[in-house]
């Protein structure tokens, strides 16, 4: 069982380019999340999805979009990347009920030049 996979592992991107970070889980979890991790700031929620077909904004949603067409996949898209989006991005999933732990993927290290 893979759990959560993320692709790519790392990416260097020119500013202004479009980029999609992929996230797939095989645990049939209802809820999925995207976080960015920056030094000294911990993890901040970008977008989330409580169930397939629904999405919501987190703490830092600007410049990012998500979709949840099915239970397993939750891609994160940067429509026009900017250097401030340089970060490590983590996808997570959980059964969705309050109090459930979240399971994290290995992360994608993105550098925008």
Report in angstroms how near the CB of residue 89 gets to other proteins at its nearest.
11
Contact pattern from residue 11 through residue 40 relative to other proteins, giving x for each residue in contact according to CB under 8 A and a dash for the rest: --------------------x-x-x----x
Cis peptide before 29 (omega within 30 of 0): no
Of the candidate residues 7, 13, 27, 43, the single one contacting other proteins (CB under 8 A):
43
Contact residue for other proteins among 53, 100, 111, 113 (CB under 8 A): 100
Residue written as tokens 């999405």? 55
**Contact call for residues 69 and 77 (beta carbons, < 8 A):** no
């Amino acid at each position: 069982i893979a759990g959560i996979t993320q692709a790519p592992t790392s990416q260097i991107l020119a500013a202004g380019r479009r980029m999609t970070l992929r996230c797939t889980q095989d645990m049939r979890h209802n809820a999925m999340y995207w976080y960015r991790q920056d030094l000294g700031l911990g993890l901040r929620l970008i977008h989330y999805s409580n169930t397939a077909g629904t999405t919501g904004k987190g703490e830092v949603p600007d410049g990012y979009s998500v979709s949840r067409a099915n239970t397993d996949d939750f891609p994160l898209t940067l429509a026009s990347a900017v250097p401030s989006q340089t970060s490590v991005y983590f996808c997570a999933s959980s059964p969705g009920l309050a109090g459930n732990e979240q399971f994290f993927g290995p992360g994608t290290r993105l550098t925008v030049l």
